[in-house]
Structure 1
Amino acid sequence: MSDLALLYEHPAWFVPLFDALKRRGIVYQALTPAGAFDPADPHPPAPLILNRIAMSAFLREAEHPIFWAQALIAQWERRGARVLNGTAALAVDTSKARQLALIASLGLAVPATRVVHRPRDVPAAAEAIGFPLVVKANIGGAGAGIARFDSLEAVRAAAADGTLPTSIDGVLLVQEYVPARDGLVTRIETLDRAYLYAIDIAGAGQFDLCPADACAVPGRAITMRAAEPAPALRAAAEAIAKAAALDLGGVEVMIDDRDGVPRFYDINALSNFVARPLEVLGWDPHERLVDRLEGWMAEAG
Structure 2
Amino acid sequence: MTEKIYILHENDEWTNPLCEALDELEQPYELWHLHEGQFNLMKEPPQGIFYNRMSASSHTRGHRYAPEYTAAILTWLEAHNRKIFNGSRALSLEVSKVAQYLALEAFGIQTPKTIAASGQQHLVEAASQSGLSSFITKHNRAGKGLGVQLFHSVNELEAFVNSSQFEPSIDGITLIQQYIKSPNTSILRYEFVNGKFLYTVKVDTSEGFELCPADSCQIGDQFCPTTSQPKAKFEIVDEGQADLIAKYEAFLKANHIHMAGIECIMDENGGWYTYDVNTNTNYNPQAEAIHGQFGMKEIAKTLQAELLALKEQRSTIK
How does the TM-score come out when normalised to structure 1? 0.92
Q: Which amino acid aligns with 2:222?
A: P
The 8 Å contact of residues 183 and 205 in structure 1, kept in 2 or not, is answered as no
1:5 alignment partner, SS class: strand
Q: Which amino acid aligns with 1:49?
A: F
Structure 2 counterparts to residues 17-166 of structure 1, below 5 A: 17-61=18-62, 63-129=64-130, 130-161=132-163, 163-166=165-168
**Structure 2 residue 264 is matched with structure 1 residue 253:** yes
Match of 1:217 among 216, 221, 243: 221
- CA distance in structure 1 between the aligned counterparts of 2:234 and 2:60, rounded to whole angstroms: 23
Give the stretch that moved more between structures: 25-34 or 180-189: 25-34
2:177 alignment partner, SS class: strand
Q: Which amino acid aligns with 1:267?
A: V
Gapped runs of 5+ residues in structure 2?
Answer: 225-230, 312-318
- The alpha-carbon deviation at position 273 of structure 1 amounts to 2.1
Q: Which amino acid aligns with 2:292?
A: G
- The alpha-carbon deviation at position 261 of structure 1 amounts to 0.5
Gap change, CA 1:240 and 1:268, over 3 Å in 2:
same
Q: Provide the alpha-carbon RMSD of the alignment.
A: 2.1
The 8 Å contact of residues 10 and 35 in structure 2, kept in 1 or not, is answered as no
- The alpha-carbon deviation at position 287 of structure 1 amounts to 2.4
Residue of structure 1 equivalent to 2:191: 189
The 8 Å contact of residues 48 and 81 in structure 1, kept in 2 or not, is answered as yes
Identity %: 23
Residue of structure 2 equivalent to 1:272: 282
Gap change, CA 1:183 and 1:119, over 3 Å in 2:
same
- CA distance in structure 2 between the aligned counterparts of 1:31 and 1:75, rounded to whole angstroms: 14
| Number of residue pairs the alignment of both structures matches | 300
The 8 Å contact of residues 8 and 50 in structure 2, kept in 1 or not, is answered as yes
Residue of structure 1 equivalent to 2:209: 207
- CA distance in structure 2 between the aligned counterparts of 1:239 and 1:162, rounded to whole angstroms: 43
- CA distance in structure 2 between the aligned counterparts of 1:71 and 1:56, rounded to whole angstroms: 18
- CA distance in structure 2 between the aligned counterparts of 1:20 and 1:144, rounded to whole angstroms: 30
The 8 Å contact of residues 186 and 202 in structure 2, kept in 1 or not, is answered as yes
- The alpha-carbon deviation at position 49 of structure 1 amounts to 0.7
Q: Which amino acid aligns with 2:250?
A: A
Match of 1:262 among 267, 272, 276: 272
The 8 Å contact of residues 58 and 64 in structure 2, kept in 1 or not, is answered as no
- The alpha-carbon deviation at position 118 of structure 1 amounts to 2.3
Give the stretch that moved more between structures: 202-211 or 266-275: 202-211
How does the TM-score come out when normalised to structure 2? 0.87
Residue of structure 1 equivalent to 2:304: 294
- CA distance in structure 2 between the aligned counterparts of 1:87 and 1:62, rounded to whole angstroms: 18
- The alpha-carbon deviation at position 115 of structure 1 amounts to 1.0
Q: Which amino acid aligns with 2:4?
A: D
Residue of structure 2 equivalent to 1:237: 248
- The alpha-carbon deviation at position 276 of structure 1 amounts to 3.0
- The alpha-carbon deviation at position 25 of structure 1 amounts to 1.3
The 8 Å contact of residues 33 and 69 in structure 1, kept in 2 or not, is answered as yes
